[in-house]
Amino acid sequence: MTQGAKILVADDETAIRKMLDVALRGHGFQVLEAKTGEEALLVASMERPDLIVLDWSLPDMEGIEVLRKLREWSPVPVIMLTVRDAEEDKVMALDGGADDYVVKPFGVKELLARIRVALRHAYRGDTASPVLDLHGIRIDLQERRVYKDGELLRLTPIEYDLLKVLAQNAGKVVTHAQLLRQVWGDVDPDNASQYLRVYISHLRKKIENDPAHPRRLLTEPGVGYRLIGEEV
């Protein structure tokens, strides 16, 4: 499904662009390049890539600004590359419309895995199937039923809604604010974050074999949560 997808790499470092060009072409992707934010927006509008790998620090504007401009007219998946490891920067990128982020220096295998996940998610769409199968968890969206290894789980309505949001974004980080907004609606994130942690803990007890060492529902410290889907 992802074979032959068109990837735009927007980064001002020649070495990074060359490395990703070789790696991406070696895995069957088409590659476009841009050295600046303006060039990235131009190439994106003319070539319509399937995914963009976007560096945070570009010579003419920050990647987050490129992302904001892009989101005014395009839903294309975006993976941010950044040397910034601060929680607030990750949250800013995700809340600004990024599908994922990778911190420099990064492993090419990790980036390729994130690209495949983002592309599969984009191609699948949230309503392509009423049933989601993820890492031993089966979610029937029509019947609102969840099975773990074939056994029906008893979830509360909030636990189900949390799992549904995470499953529809499988492999991607979903921020605290995004989860609170989609499950609880218009709430104060500061006051509601404790409730979120409690419900995540309850959900882990039902979907994890060892809740103390989760392998399905992972925490991205200070940012949010990531539900592991199919193996990448």
| Mean pLDDT computed over 226-232 | 69
Residues 178-198: tens digit of each pLDDT = 888 888 876 666 666 778 889
Kindly tell me if the per-residue pLDDT of 123 is higher than 80: no
Quick check: 36 pLDDT over 90? yes
Query: How far apart (Å, rounded) are the C-alpha atoms in residues 17 and 35?
Result: 9
Taking the C-alpha atoms of residue 75 and residue 231, their distance in angstroms, rounded to an integer, is 25
Looking at this protein, which amino acid is placed at residue 155? L
Mean pLDDT of 27-35: 96
Q: pLDDT category, 129, cuts 50, 70, 90?
A: low
For each of the domains in the chain, give its residue range(s) and CATH number, in order of start.
6-124 (3.40.50.2300), 131-227 (1.10.10.10)
CA within 13 Å, CB half, 187: 18
Indicate whether 126 pLDDT > 50. no
- Structure confidence by residue, pLDDT tens digits, 53-62: 999 999 999 9
pLDDT, residue 232, reads: 37
pTM: 0.71
Percent of the residues in the chain that have a pLDDT greater than 70, as a whole number = 92
